[in-house]
Structure 1
Amino acid sequence: MIAAKRLHPLFAAEITDLAVSAPIPDAVFSDIEAAFRRHSVLVFRDQPITDDQQIAFSERFGALETTKVGTAGAGGKLIVLSNMDEGGAVVPASDRQVLNNRANRLWHADSSFKAVPAKASMLSARLIPSKGGDTEYISMRAVYAALPGRLKQAVENKVVIHDYAYSRSKIDPALVTDAERAAVPPVRQAMVIDHGADLGRSLYLGAHAARIEGMAEDEGRALIDELMAFATQERFVYAHKWQPHDLILWDNRAVIHRATPFESATEKRLMVRTTIAGDAPTLVAAA
């Protein structure tokens, strides 16, 4: 049996006494999967892993997404989130990777702009700044459960258009290339996902949510903004302060997340992400 220490009253847990780089018996891995389903966010401390070890552990949870066009290492299994060049020097604030890192400070679910969005993400802290650069998570199951009746009625059977270009334009209108627009056109997602009788429903929103199908744009935008304002209350947020070699796994269909700022002009940050692919569109799991 694994030990899971709860990190927040509503969700998130730390898994102790486990080295993910070592062989993990099937029975132990089943416990990890059960804890992941229950807590949505799992923290594994002190995991000084290599890229290959991260890939191997991630693939226990399912096939991995490959990196999209326009991202460093396109077509590979790793996303490198860094503010450094190949020589290790800090890049200027106008650099594309810095702008993309700024976009990650918006609340979002990874790959919600894909027709079959990600199941989960795994992030490894390779190099962290002395302060800031943390990651915050929101339990969207807890948010849905706490919605007033009026808002629960408002979200029922809604379809949201998620658009990568829409979210990136909030940072810089020129940040998305024509190739990226062609590779990730707007997609339809359920606003509410049903996780089963034991877990209930969750909202599925975030920065990529551009508009609501069948609603006037201003009306739909107002509803999205109201829901996000409700969701981002402090009571729903787990704020993770990174330690060297932390490894975090989170459920992209049950939580949203964002990075917090740090002194990116002077301090270095290097994080490596793998993304476990989803197995069906969200509309299949719509409530």
Structure 2
Amino acid sequence: MPEATPLHPLFAAQVTGIDLRRGVTAEDAVWLRAALDRHAVLVLPGQAIDDAQQVAFAEAFGPLEATRPGARGAGSPLIVLSNLGPDGDIVLPSDRQVLNNLANRQWHHDSSFKPVAARASALSARAIPACGGETEFACMRAAWAALPEPLRAQVRGRVALHDFGWSRSRVAPDLVTDAERMQHPPVRQAMLLAENPHGPALYLGAHARSVEGMDEAAGRALIEALMDFATQPRFVYRHAWTQHDLVVWDNRAVLHRATPFDSHAERRVMVRTTIAGERPTLAAAA
């Protein structure tokens, strides 16, 4: 039977007692879904799995998204987050892959730029650098619970526009193509979600461009104030990767970001599967 050991006072747990190379039983799947609801981030160490085994694990949480065009793994359930080219060598700093990895260093929810935002993500560490390259998670349920009432009053019932083209262009002007902008026009997302049995969660991230009903400057100021509050160290769990760690997180309960490493000299290969959302965030709005 799997067991969960807390990794942080507010959220995140390490899971032992399950070997994903043997598959996920129906009982395991029920336990994992309940554990993810409760802890928001689950760390499963020592899972030396292949792509097919990772897909099978992720499917225990629900149907999977297909990777967007323009990313490695496009059209498949897998996205490869790496600084290596097809020949296995480290790519140049100007390579589009490296620039996309820079975008992942911003606090974000995966797929918040889609009409139905992702439910969860699972990330497998295939090759890790000797130093750096950790992933940080910020608990948006705990942030909402601690948020001062004046800020809460500005969030309730509000909708933010999430814009993929806008967020990517802030990393590099040419990072997003015209085709990608057309494929991912701005979408409306609730700023507060109440779908989790363990409490409501703020929903923000790097793709959140503006707030409906507010002028641009006021909306940006609100988003930035909420982001600054929600990503304080007291709400953050920092995961230092060991090879073959598998981490799954609730995209509707936590923000996450990658931390820097020497991408010119160190190899990093991570493979992600993304569990699709069941309904738009507006249907889960508090």
TM class, shorter-length: over 0.9
Q: How does 1:193-204 map to 2 (within 5 A)?
A: 193-196=193-196, 198-204=197-203
* Separation of aligned partners in 1, 2:34 and 2:281: 21
How far residue 32 of structure 1 moved from its aligned partner, in angstroms, is 1.5
How far residue 24 of structure 1 moved from its aligned partner, in angstroms, is 2.8
* Separation of aligned partners in 2, 1:191 and 1:211: 11
The 8 Å contact of residues 21 and 57 in structure 1, kept in 2 or not, is answered as: no
> Structure 1, residues 108-146: CA drift from partner, whole Å, max 9, x if none?
000000000000000000000000000000010000000
Q: How does 1:7-156 map to 2 (within 5 A)?
A: 7-156=7-156
Output the amino acid matched with 1:271: M
Residue of structure 1 in register with 2:162 after alignment: 162
Tell me the secondary structure at the aligned position of residue 20 of structure 2. coil
Tell me the secondary structure at the aligned position of residue 222 of structure 2. helix
* Separation of aligned partners in 2, 1:29 and 1:68: 27
Output the amino acid matched with 1:225: E
Moved more, 262-271 or 19-28: 19-28
Residue of structure 2 in register with 1:231 after alignment: 230
* Separation of aligned partners in 2, 1:130 and 1:217: 42
* Separation of aligned partners in 2, 1:232 and 1:37: 20
Runs of 4+ in 1 over 6 A off after TM superposition: none
Q: How does 1:207-222 map to 2 (within 5 A)?
A: 207-222=206-221
The 8 Å contact of residues 162 and 208 in structure 2, kept in 1 or not, is answered as: yes
Tell me the secondary structure at the aligned position of residue 131 of structure 2. coil
The 8 Å contact of residues 155 and 192 in structure 2, kept in 1 or not, is answered as: yes
Residue of structure 2 in register with 1:243 after alignment: 242
Tell me the secondary structure at the aligned position of residue 152 of structure 2. helix
The 8 Å contact of residues 23 and 56 in structure 2, kept in 1 or not, is answered as: no
Tell me the secondary structure at the aligned position of residue 22 of structure 2. coil
Tell me the secondary structure at the aligned position of residue 244 of structure 1. coil
- The unaligned stretches of length 5 or more in structure 2 are none
Identity in percent: 58
* Separation of aligned partners in 1, 2:69 and 2:131: 32
The 8 Å contact of residues 70 and 179 in structure 1, kept in 2 or not, is answered as: no
Tell me the secondary structure at the aligned position of residue 154 of structure 1. helix
* Separation of aligned partners in 2, 1:274 and 1:58: 7
What TM-score comes out, normalization by structure 2 length? 0.98
How far residue 20 of structure 1 moved from its aligned partner, in angstroms, is 1.2
How far residue 10 of structure 1 moved from its aligned partner, in angstroms, is 0.3
What TM-score comes out, normalization by structure 1 length? 0.98
* Separation of aligned partners in 1, 2:166 and 2:267: 28
Tell me the secondary structure at the aligned position of residue 88 of structure 1. coil
Residue of structure 2 in register with 1:189 after alignment: 189
How far residue 25 of structure 1 moved from its aligned partner, in angstroms, is 2.6
Moved more, 58-67 or 252-261: 58-67
* Separation of aligned partners in 1, 2:73 and 2:239: 27
CA RMSD of aligned residues (A): 0.9
* Separation of aligned partners in 2, 1:144 and 1:120: 19
Moved more, 126-135 or 21-30: 21-30
* Separation of aligned partners in 1, 2:109 and 2:96: 21
* Separation of aligned partners in 2, 1:207 and 1:265: 25
Tell me the secondary structure at the aligned position of residue 278 of structure 1. coil
How far residue 13 of structure 1 moved from its aligned partner, in angstroms, is 0.3
